[in-house]
Amino acid sequence: MFLKLKISFFLFGLLACLILVILAVPYLSQNYSNYRNKLAPLNQTHQTLLSLYIGDEKLLYLPPSAKTHKMRIKEGQTLMQILLKAGADRTNAFNAIKAMRKLFNPRDILKNTEIIIYQKTTVLGESVFDGFEFSPNSSATILVRFKNDSLPIASRINRILKKEEIRVKGYIDTSLYFDATKTGLPAEIVLEFIRLFSWDVDFQREIRRGDEFDILVNRLLLPDGSVARWTSINYASLTLRKKKMPLYRYESVGDGTEYFNRKGRSARKALMKTPINGARLSSRFGKRRHPILGYTKFHRGVDFAAPIGTPIYAAGDGIVIFAGRKGGYGNYIKIRHNSRYYTAYAHLQGFKRNIKRGKKVKQGQVIGFVGSTGRSTGPHLHYEILVNEEQINPLRIKLPSGKNLLGSELKRFQRTRDQIDLTLRNIKTGNISTISK
């Protein structure tokens, strides 16, 4: 009977071993290959099985405890709340934040910052909080990890960013936006480039297939060569039907950064607030009692009283999109200056010769003459500035300066310009993908 028991024990043991081997082999090999391939850690069930049946030493085959997941700080959310939500226990989360405080104030974490939360797996297969990391900016990472079960260690990893200037040139096939982003330039740089030319170029109408863009831009690189962030456009050029329009970045003494053409004329063009000479402001923008209709009406422009026949100027460079009779406005002209800005002129006696729809005009060019056509009580110019199709107060609007550099300022600009030209002659050009690899 004793022997029988022994044999049955032996058989049972043998069977157990067999089952164990059958169970363990696939798991072990899977673990090993997972480890080698640095794949995500195994799921908990596998780890539990291994630790229970095979023994702790076999856990060496498991990937290091790190299991991470990422969360973003939402508006009004604290780091503590994020850690608790990720399953950290209150004491460890508190201690981890306390350890970080010497390096970084948790209140200074910006919303939308990505927090990487570490979890380690205990022998029993439990997941426990094991620290966190985040990058308050592109050149630093704050890391808090637990050295043993209870001691959090905070460290700051600073990356030294390398400044790089690159040049990207290309032809427009589909659209400037599409073809420029295709080279690898980020959207925000391409949009900035488009903004720089918005006073000179009508992007909906003037761009032709085969036109050329050329851009010199700064960016900061991390030690591994990846881009931390794009900084500034130093030079931007568009060539439309063989006509080249280069713009240079220049920091003027008091006025900050602006872009100028080769001659030192600002890329941003002002609109004239008073496109007429020798006139008197007779009615402002806003609510007023209408002189003819008699009731209160919103006045969507400003009126300048002036003798019949006084010349009216185009307030800025642009294209005439309407010149003709228009209801209460009488003889009316509307000019498109760029994709956002329009100006309109009403009650004209007549139009200057050749001023018609589609005509390109320069700032200060005479387009018509003061009259009293349409719903008008006496000779005056009714003038409107429209932003995105909506009238705004021309006297209040902060318009781009459109300044010209002069004297010593111009000399300084010319030195900057020549330096950029020198860079352009020497720098390698191409697509971003070919430059960085």
| Residue 67 and residue 39 in contact, taking contact as beta carbons nearer than 8 Å | no
Q: Find the helix or strand (DSSP H, E) in which 90 lies.
A: helix 90-101
- Give the shortest CB-356-to-Zn ion separation in angstroms: 23
- By beta-carbon proximity to Zn ion, the closer residue of 336 and 382 is 382
Residues 6+ positions from 61 with CB-CB distance below 8 Å: 28, 31, 32, 35
> Residue 283's CB: how many other CB atoms inside 10 A?
15
2-36 helix and 44-53 helix, angle to the nearest 10 degrees? 140
- By beta-carbon proximity to Zn ion, the closer residue of 120 and 299 is 299
- Give the shortest CB-382-to-Zn ion separation in angstroms: 3
- By beta-carbon proximity to Zn ion, the closer residue of 179 and 303 is 303
Identity of the residue numbered 40:
A
- By beta-carbon proximity to Zn ion, the closer residue of 8 and 377 is 377
Exposure string for 67-76, b = 16+ CB within 10 A, e = fewer: beeebebeee
> Residue 326's CB: how many other CB atoms inside 10 A?
16
- Give the shortest CB-332-to-Zn ion separation in angstroms: 12
Nearest to 150, CA basis, from 83, 95, 98: 95
| Terminal C-alpha separation, the chain | 78
- By beta-carbon proximity to Zn ion, the closer residue of 129 and 369 is 369
- Give the shortest CB-285-to-Zn ion separation in angstroms: 9
- Give the shortest CB-294-to-Zn ion separation in angstroms: 16
- Give the shortest CB-365-to-Zn ion separation in angstroms: 22
- Give the shortest CB-393-to-Zn ion separation in angstroms: 12
- By beta-carbon proximity to Zn ion, the closer residue of 152 and 301 is 301
Coil, strand or helix: which one is 188?
A: helix
- By beta-carbon proximity to Zn ion, the closer residue of 269 and 382 is 382
Cα Rg of the chain (Å, integer): 35
The tokens for 242 are 């063989």
Query: Where along the sequence are the contacts to Zn ion (CB under 5 A)?
Result: 301, 303, 382
Coil, strand or helix: which one is 136?
A: strand
Identity of the residue numbered 200:
D
Residues 6+ positions from 285 with CB-CB distance below 8 Å: 299, 300, 301, 302, 391, 393, 394, 395, 396
- What residue is closest to Zn ion based on CB? 382
The tokens for 74 are 């939402």
- Give the shortest CB-219-to-Zn ion separation in angstroms: 50
